[in-house]
Structure 1
Amino acid sequence: MTLSSPELDERTDLRARYDVPWTTVVWDDPVNLMSYVTYVFQSYFGFSHDRADHLMRQVHVDGRAIVASGAREAMERHVEAMHGFGLQATVERAPGADA
């Protein structure tokens, strides 16, 4: 039995939607110092001090910041790492991604 092109394309589209549009979100908490959050962003993600400070301030002011995006498995690893540093983090679909 041979698969037609439309069926193959549909399966590829579903796989692409599952793999790509995910983010790591870090949430504000009353425990960690702002300098520590900046340090974590620099040491784990390799962000410059300015970028890490900007994201930390976004966490502090907005209550959350998207710190990474990509495949779901990679975002889950980032969340685990953030938990290891004592930060609250979750995996979410990227803004505008189809559910």
Structure 2
Amino acid sequence: MSTPAVVPDVVEDIDLRAAPLEPWQVVVWNDPVNLMSYVVRVFRTYFGYSIDRATSLMLAVHHDGHAIVATGPRETMEVHAQAMHEYGLWATVRKAPQ
């Protein structure tokens, strides 16, 4: 028989609080393919944005080259970006600046 190993008492302070969820963003980028009216319709249909909000975001995409269309947990933003791809829009996910 072997002798059990002696393990010294270890006292560790363990912080069991959950880390805060860091926000992520879905960025939709301008492209030369999709009509502005189509982009507004996608934002209204998928995100449920009002006509004014969807139009404002579409104009930001058109004039600035991109717009942040959603912010939230990473997994959710990845789902949104994939949905934008399925609608034919170019979208990426990035960590929101702190």
Structure 2 portions without partners, runs of 5+: 1-9
Match of 2:24 in 1: 22
TM-score (normalised: structure 1): 0.82
Distance 2:12 2:61 in 1: 48
Higher Cα Rg, which structure: 2
TM-score (normalised: structure 2): 0.83
Change in Cα spacing, 1:2 to 1:46, as seen in structure 2 (3 Å) is: farther
Distance 1:62 1:3 in 2: 51
Q: CA RMSD in A?
A: 1.7
* Stretches of 4+ aligned residues off by more than 2 angstroms: none
Match of 1:78 in 2: 80
Percent of aligned pairs sharing the same letter: 56
Structure with a larger share of its residues in helix: 1
Structure 1 portions without partners, runs of 5+: none
Alignment of 1:31-50 (within 5 A): 31-50=33-52
1:22 aligned partner, one-letter code: W
How far apart are 1:2 and its partner, in Å? 5.6
How far apart are 1:3 and its partner, in Å? 4.2
Name the SS of the counterpart of 1:25 in structure 2. strand
